[in-house]
Structure 1
Amino acid sequence: MNVRIVLTHEKILYTIETPLPPEPSLEDAVAHEAWKTHKGDMITAQCIILAAMTPEHRCQHKGYTAYEIMARLKDLYEKRTRYERYDVAKKLFRCRMAEGSSVEKHVTEMIGYIDRLSELGVGMDAELTIDFVLQSLPDCYGQFIMNFNMMNMDKTLGELLSMLQEAEPEINKKAKGNVLLVRGPKGRKGKPKSKKAKQKKSSSTAPSGGVQKTKARKGKEDAVCFHCNKSGHWKWNCKEYLAEV
């Protein structure tokens, strides 16, 4: 509840910030008249505040002055406001737009957080809010951000949103083109292998030593011993040669 909006008479706002002092002596006519004015304004403010409350809160604060009502409300809701301010600020500072998502939805969400912080007493200048939005954009908006900063544009958040919406189709188109260049044509898994490469691979996968064993086997069967002139063995396998040695 915003009491400053409810109390449309600005002249009695002091009653919620300053307690009613003790009644002065009747001998001091000026001071006593000022006290009576303060008391009358306080009663008016009290009635307006109670009228704006829910029945439950009205029963809880019926016997208190306007100043005392405000003090109690601060004790009850100030901590809750602190927690809400922290939560909204965390959401704002951590806002990051996913590439390919809607820029309108993203920026509108951030504007909502900024407006809520302003309502909670956290004021930020226009340039800072613009920086928050620009820093939350993905890398594909890098050229847009560079041009925006170089031109020193003095824009509101609404005007920035309109510019982003206008640039969004072209930025998304370029981002998709870059992805296709990196990944290559769909379905292509590399260059086809040549027949020579296939033959080389098949020969390399054959059991090692198989060809050598076959050659060695054929060579032993066709061998002729130079010692005894008989076939089927080598000189160093010849029994006669070994007996003489």
Structure 2
Amino acid sequence: MVAYEMIQNLKEIYEGQARQERYETSKALLQCKMTEGTPVGAHVIKMMGYVQMLEKLGFPLKNELAIDLILQSLPVCEAKRKGKKVAKSKGSGKTKAKGKNVLKPKGAISKDGKCFHCNKSGHWKRNCPVYLEEVKKAKAVGASVSGTAHEKESS
């Protein structure tokens, strides 16, 4: 045999094995998923081993593709949170209650409550005609409502 024929013969023999190994390695790389509870470092090292093996077999991957494959193999935390309540936002502190947790007033609300402004029954301060008239006058004069209410108490 001439050297050229020997090289061709060896290529035919080992090329099939390399193709099969490349197929198995790429399959393992693409199907590799990290299980929860295992260290991320060990998983990344395992994935990098697959990438390096493909490079040795004549099929190098670009860095961006290798990084994307590794990131896609990591578990997604958001899928785990499905159905849980979203954390409260730091806002005014007021929250709306829904469903069964709605707070109900302990005492009954009646229309014959006493007005805290004029001490007459049948309405509350927010609907008191005397109070509303004083508010109108105070706005027209420019004085504060609390100032007119304070003057009324002292007289």
More helix as a share of residues:
1
Q: TM-score, normalised by structure 2?
A: 0.48
Q: TM-score, normalised by structure 1?
A: 0.31
